[in-house]
Amino acid sequence: MGNPTERQPQVPQGVPPGLSQGGAPSVSSKGAGQPPLQAVPVARAIPIGKVATPSKGGMPIPQAIHIGSSEGSAPPGQITYPQAQPIATPLPQGQPIPFQMPQAQPIPVAQALPGARVATKPTLAEKVPTKAAPGRAPGAGATQQPQDQLEESDQEILEVALRNAPSWLFSLVVHMALMILLALWLLPVPSRNILSILVPREIWAEKLGEQLEFDSPLGMENVLTKEEPVLTPDNLPEVEDPFAAPSKWDMVSPDGRIASNDEKVDHIGLALHGRQEGMKKALVGLYGGNRLTEKAVELGLAWLARQQRKDGSWSLKGPYRDGATQEDNPEAATGLALLAFLGDGHTHVKGRYSKNVQNGINWLLKQQDQSGNLYHEGGFNHHFYTQGICTIALCELYAMTKDEKFKEPAQRAVQYCLASQSPEGGWRYQPGVDSDVSVTGWVVMALQSARMAGMEIPPDHFRRVERFLDRSVASDGFRYCYQKGHAPSLAMTAEALLCRQYLGWAKDEPRLIEALEWITQKENLIDFSPGKRNVYYWYYATQVCHHMDRDSKYWKTWNAVMREAVPRAQVKKGPEAGSWDPDFQDPYEPHGGRLYVTCLCIYMLEVYYRHLPIYAPVYTLLGKPKYQLP
């Protein structure tokens, strides 16, 4: 830096000419006869007071410190200034005053210039400078801030990013999330056609578990359940009324409950026509069946086919496990098995099990004697159970096929039943002796099957049955006993009600309604729990409720439990798969064993089409859009 004498000092505004910034008079480098003076550093004057302010302009000038003078005191009111005195000892040459100019610093902008654009928010890399403290250079403290205050955390960056993000970006994110959620919600579930034949749409069918193992398409082909094509001709002529019944019978007056027609026809009547393939599927859907009930029937028939003996007969004692505990009765066993196949529409001329039916009916015909009797061995109480069961099988086969070779055997079997009716009006263990509701029910069903086949039954036989039932009713008028004097039971009540329905009771008969209210109470519905089983009762109650029509609360209540409980109880694995285990604590099941229990369960699941309901306007219902199997 240059010599101080060469530096032009800046004089503050308001200082009189000739005064230095420190308040001393300026000294020229050239004096008049005086030796040159050396510049002495003089401290800045300390104000000790203020003089009167000039009347016009100027700054107040602080008083100078009086250093002293040999010339005496100055006049009052006159400001004196110290004069430079010669120094006796020569001083060293003047040195530059040690002074370091501050480095240039950015000037803080206190106010934006007019028209200029000023950022509303500082960026992370910038800090708004503050006013420097007195005695410190501006910006001197900025370099002393800790390093961690200069670095921004991830959280601060995220907050700044969110604050500065445009609003449309948030809207875009929210709408994209909503679209993804809606797409996932509306995404269709892939169809499972490979399991559609196994899983019905009813909620209870999903709880049956391992029953689905039998027909898994992922496993081996089950040759026992492999379906064969239905060989129905495509060129069958259309008929005006496919449900036309045989001509009028000279019996109970047909008043709308029993379908009849004045025109004679060559095919079966109303009751058995539902077993035909197309009609069967429609009726299953119409009356509340499903694929699960149909699958259980299929597995049950497959089990029966495996139990048929080489001569065409079946046995109540084996070769399966848990056979009957009493004597064998192959005629009754064969009749029971044939009814299961016939109920599903199989005959000796059509159906997957046509050979089983052919072999079974051929064996049964060999057991019939000239009187029409079909019972030859078994327990003493089996006689008319056997006769009734086998007569039903012969009549149904003839009604379904009109094969003349079965007409005469069926007629003889029916005549044997009519000739054996007791004076009480029913049947029991021996021809013409005594009656009970249990045996009588089977024989009445045999006579009903004969009517379906177009056979004439003298009405007096049915009037005698009605008189017997009138004597077997309990004191309440709607529950029935095994015999007069016995306690009423659910099984005998259901069996007697079925007879009453076929003998002409109206749908709204008060005694029928009272009995149905009792039957359909929760504690009387189907329950396979130990101590609550009664398959014999369930078989008859299923038919009685079904005849009340599909919209009846009694049928809906009964069927809702039946179509779930019966398939669930079916054996799922092992050599007895497809059958139902007998309960030897039951009063009836030990007499028939596994085959007897299995056949009755199959009959229950065939109820949708086995016999058309007596009180139903089937013509009208099936004229509506086709009912599909659920």
Give CA–CA dist 410/414, Å, rounded: 6
Q: pLDDT by residue (tens digit) across 111-127?
A: 444 444 444 444 444 44
Determine the average pLDDT of the residues in 43-63: 47
Q: What is the mean pLDDT of residues 215-232?
A: 42
The whole-number pLDDT of residue 86 equals: 52
Question: Tokens 């009480």, residue?
Answer: 424
Structure tokens given for 419: 């000739």
pLDDT of residue 95: 53
To 5 degrees, how large is the angle CA 421–CA 339–CA 363?
A: 85
Residue 347 burial class via C-beta count within 10 angstroms: exposed 0-12, middle 13-18, buried 19 and up: buried
**pLDDT-wise least confident of 82-86, 255-259, 275-279:** 255-259
Tens digits of residue pLDDT in 309-359:
999 999 999 899 999 888 899 999 999 999 999 999 999 999 999 999 999
The confidence score (pLDDT) of residue 239 equals 47
Rounded to an integer, what distance in angstroms lies between the CA atom of residue 590 and that of residue 535? Answer: 12
Position 600 scores a pLDDT of 96
Q: Backbone dihedral region of 477: left (phi > 0), alpha (psi from -120 to 50 degrees) or beta?
A: left
How far is 213 from 408, CA to CA, in rounded Å?
45
pLDDT, residue 83, reads 55
pTM for the model stands at 0.60
Q: What is the mean pLDDT of residues 601-612?
A: 94
Statement: residue 468 has pLDDT above 80? yes
Q: Which band of pLDDT confidence, cut at 50, 70 and 90, is reported for residue 622?
A: low
Residue 85 pLDDT: 54
Residue 306 has pLDDT above 90, yes or no: yes
What are the structural domains, with CATH classification, of the chain? 205-231+242-622 (1.50.10.20)
pLDDT above 60: residue 198: no
Q: Please report which helix (H) or strand (E) contains residue 609, including its range.
A: helix 607-610
Proportion of the chain above pLDDT 70, given as a percent: 60
- The predicted-structure confidence for 13-42, as pLDDT tens digits, reads as follows 444 444 444 444 444 444 444 445 454 444
Please list, in sequence order, all residues whose beta carbon lies within 8 angstroms of the beta carbon of residue 511, skipping any fewer than 6 positions away.
Answer: 477, 478, 505
- Spell out the alpha helix ranges (H) of 287-367: 291-307, 330-343, 354-367
Taking 80 as the threshold, does the pLDDT of residue 504 lie above it?
Answer: yes
What's the confidence (pLDDT) of residue 109? 46
- pLDDT level of residue 187 (50, 70, 90 thresholds): low
Over residues 392-412, mean pLDDT: 94
Calculate mean pLDDT across residues 519-535.
93
